[in-house]
Structure 1
Amino acid sequence: MLRAPDSLPGHLAENVMHFGRVLRQAGLPLGTDRIQLALTALQVAGLQSRHDFHDTLAACFIDRVEHIELFEQAFHLFWRDPDLAGRMMAMLLPRVQAKENAAPPPPENRRLGEALFPHQPQAPQQPPPPEELQVDAQLTFNDQEVLRKADFETMTADEWRAALQLLKRLAVLFEPLPSRRQVRALHPGRPDGRATLQAMARQGGELWDMRWRRPHVRPAPLVVLADISGSMSRYSRMLLHFTHALGHADARVESFVFGTRLTRTTRALRQRDPDIAVGRVVRDVEDWSGGTRISECLRQFNRVWARRVLNSRATVLLITDGLEHGHTGELSFEMERLHKSCRRLIWLNPLLRFDAFEPRAGGIKAMLPHVDRFLPAHNLASLEQLAQVLAGGPPPR
């Protein structure tokens, strides 16, 4: 059991250990050795200022750049006493507790909020409000079925949070593709002459067991191009959560968003917490919910990024409604170029949610001849359909 050093003042050591547990619950891979290191470092570095205290904890708790933002948010919320430096210097730091007037964490950091405020103080008893129909955390089968078919655009805040919880349970598999590399196999197939001769040498020159080889199987790489214009922002936000889940699977995933310009979001979506990752994308992308220039953004991707992230084995997910204004000849050229640079081009269009949808718009007509699959992307059921397509199977009817 980890024990607090006796030389630290007041309850400072206990609060540092509690702070370490909060970071661990929020998703930071923090062991007890790091907490012990921080307690020892505080004895050496001293408590002259809040800045020194912050840097000492950061040096002991952070070892990867993607953990900096989570640490900064947690430090600001946990050690929010304005007279902290004076209290530490006076060696009278009290126990840290969540107060009623404490500001909640940033909305995109759900895990940090749950770690810092696990038990909120209850308000005085008041008459119960009128009963309202809301989405319960424990969804029944009928509730889940209704939520699967609910449109992302019309979801309430409670339904949105429940949909994110169901999205985490979605099993995502990538189509396995054979490579040129050979590995040993247990079942008969291609003979492995070298391994067979080695086995014969160990067995006195007699052939007792034949060795076999098979092609090494790797998941197909994926590239996501998501439209974040005003008409697509709600759908793109949910699909970014889906892309975050894809990026933490076995396959290599590259992600981009585009409106009036193209922005690479692969690094931002590497955050472990999906709320932090998607919140960072929404905050950092300047043209979120703005206009759209599909032709120009596809041309930029084809000229700058296609050779870096695409190959003949890659699958491209293009998420847009295809409502391009102006001349569409350039759009058709860029779509054809993109299609020739990858193995499969899958177009996800939320307009397919309408039963009477017809490809009458000029942009949609220019794009359709160059896609392999044309699928909807407006609810959880459509994402389940997409997951089956990515796994190499036919879409469910």
Structure 2
Amino acid sequence: MAINHFDSPTGHIADNVAGFARTLRACGLPVGPGAVIDALKALRLIDIGNRADVFSTLQAIFMTRHDHAPIFAQAFDLFFCIAEEGKNMLDPVQPLDQARKPPPSASRRVLEALSRPAITSEREAPQGQEMRPSVSDLEVLQKKDFAQMSAAELAQVTQIIANMKLPQARLHTRRIRPDPRGSRLDLRRTLRGGLHTGGEIVDIHRLGRIDKPAPIVALLDISGSMSEYTRLFLHFLHGITNRRGRVSVFLFGTRLTNVTRALRARDPDEALAACSSVVEDWAGGTRIATSLHDFNKLWSRRVLGQGAVVLMITDGLEREAGSELAFEMDRLHRSCRRLIWLNPLLRYDGFEPRARGIKMMLPHVDEFRPVHNLSSIEGLIAALSQAPGRHGRGAARGLNEGHYARSR
């Protein structure tokens, strides 16, 4: 028998459901006012003391996509702080620090949404306030270094990166398929069609090449000096991985780790948490030559086929820079169609390739670009959107002629 606790028009239940809907919206779930009204009506028909029934009811109304299930479950547990039988549903929501058993794997998105000050009524909401950053704020964020941003600014930048238009450059393959605008004549289909018209050729069939997205392989340095830039660039790669195929991501510090499968999670927080769980040398030392040797030996033939574009983000500060580093860089350069080196040290106007590791790596790359702010990532997107060509003389020419881009 259903238990009705909605005798008064206002109460803790209605406030909690409305607050829970605001939390889900802050987490990115599309929950509108109509869903809140439907949830309050549905809760009249169930036993409000049964936690499982309340969870299933709110999930059926508020959740519209399957990949939102982990976020919804974590937000439900943290927001209501319910015990085993769900008796606290009628009490005001407890503060986050008083929760008895918060889920250990709760995503950062849920925690940040719950830490925001809640607006209990429309009268308390500022009139005409825009939740989106202003034009002046965006201009500042475009040029500001990732390492100098606050937590709130990093959250805005993460959202901007997720909404960026991703590169869609395509490669012309040797395979062909029927194409009415193709450049080659399909003689077989043309003659076969003439059999139905007494030998007269009426329709001329053509063939065209098949276009495929250019494969992207990313090699990211996760040493201590690169951690701020690598995490934000992982958000960029997460968007690429979930919107197009043929993307492979490797992290390296003192060893090489393939995180391609972990990065395929729909939710970005879950994807980065999965990457952190499989990487053992995060924010440690750097062994570029050893990591490149492992990649060239174990993964090169698997992921660098069909004209792959390699993105390597590292500062190039290798302690044990020797002939092995130059050999592995040359081998990587010859195995891919295009090698782009993203170095945050280019943010300095007076940067010069004086370090031994940088000198050995630089002659074997095609482009040398910065990766320290939003403008530099937008420049990379523009470069990746172009049709990739065969590599030429490398970035040494770019340094001498001022060819590489500086985003300020």
Aligning the two structures, in what range does the TM-score lie when normalised by the shorter sequence?
Answer: 0.7 to 0.9
Matches within 5 A, 1:329-340: 329-340=323-334
Count how many residue pairs are aligned between Structure 1 and Structure 2: 361
Match of 1:197 among 175, 191, 196: 191
Corresponding position: 1:210 with 2:204: yes
Q: In the alignment, is residue 85 of structure 1 matched against residue 85 of structure 2?
A: yes
* Superposed counterparts of 1:1-397, under 5 Å: 69-70=70-71, 73-74=74-75, 76-77=77-78, 80-82=81-83, 84-85=84-85, 94=89, 99-102=93-96, 108-110=107-109, 120-121=119-120, 137-140=132-135, 142-392=136-386
User: What residue identity is the alignment partner of 2:293?
Assistant: R
Q: CA deviation at 1:213?
A: 1.0
Task: Give the alignment's TM-score, normalised by structure 2.
Answer: 0.72
User: Counterpart of 2:270 in structure 1: which amino acid?
Assistant: I
3-state DSSP class of the match of 1:318?
strand
Shift of 1:146: 2.3
Residues 333 and 339 of structure 2 are in contact (CA less than 8 Å); yes or no, is this contact kept in structure 1? yes
1:297 counterpart SS class: helix
Contact 2:218–2:311, Cα closer than 8 Å, also in 1: yes
- Secondary structure of 1:217's aligned partner: strand
Amino acid at match of 1:85: E
The whole-number CA distance in structure 2 between the counterparts of 1:28 and 1:199 is 53
Q: Secondary structure at the match of 1:254?
A: strand
2:251 partner SS:
strand
CA contact (8 A) 1:173 1:387 kept: yes
Rounded to whole Å, the distance in 2 between the matches of 1:112 and 1:200 is: 68
Q: 5+ unaligned residues in a row in structure 1: which ranges?
A: 1-6, 33-38, 44-48, 88-92, 126-134
Distance 1:158 1:189 in 2: 53
CA distance in 2, matches of 1:74, 1:216: 45
After superposition, give the CA deviation of every residue in 1:283-329 in whole Å (9 maximum; x if it has no partner).
Answer: 54232211111111111222222222221411111110000002421
SS in 2 for 1:290: coil
- 8 Å Cα contact 2:181/2:208 also seen in 1: no
Contact 1:23 1:112 in 2 (8 A): no
Identity, in percent, stands at 45
> How far is the alpha carbon of 1:360 from its aligned partner?
0.8
Bigger drift between 233-242 and 280-289 goes to 280-289
Q: CA deviation at 1:96?
A: 8.7
State the Cα RMSD in Å.
4.5
Q: Which residue identity lines up with residue 370 of structure 2 in the other structure?
A: P
Where structure 2 has 5 or more consecutive residues not aligned to the other structure, the ranges are 6-13, 36-41, 125-129, 389-403
Structure 1-normalised TM-score? 0.74
Taking a change above 3 Å as real, the CA distance of residues 393 and 184 of structure 1, as seen in their structure-2 partners, is closer
SS of match in other structure, 1:166: helix
Q: Which whole-Å CA distance do the structure 1 matches of 2:69 and 2:269 have between them?
A: 15
Once residues 85 and 302 of structure 1 are traced to their aligned partners in structure 2, the CA distance between those partners, rounded to angstroms, is 55
Cα separation, 1, equivalents of 2:182 and 2:297 = 45
1:223 is displaced (CA, Å) by 0.8
Cα separation, 1, equivalents of 2:90 and 2:174? 61
The 1:268–1:10 alpha-carbon spacing in structure 2 relative to 1, beyond 3 Å, is farther
Deviation track 1:127-171 (CA, whole Å, cap 9, x = no partner) reads xxxxxxxx973321x432221111111112222222223223321
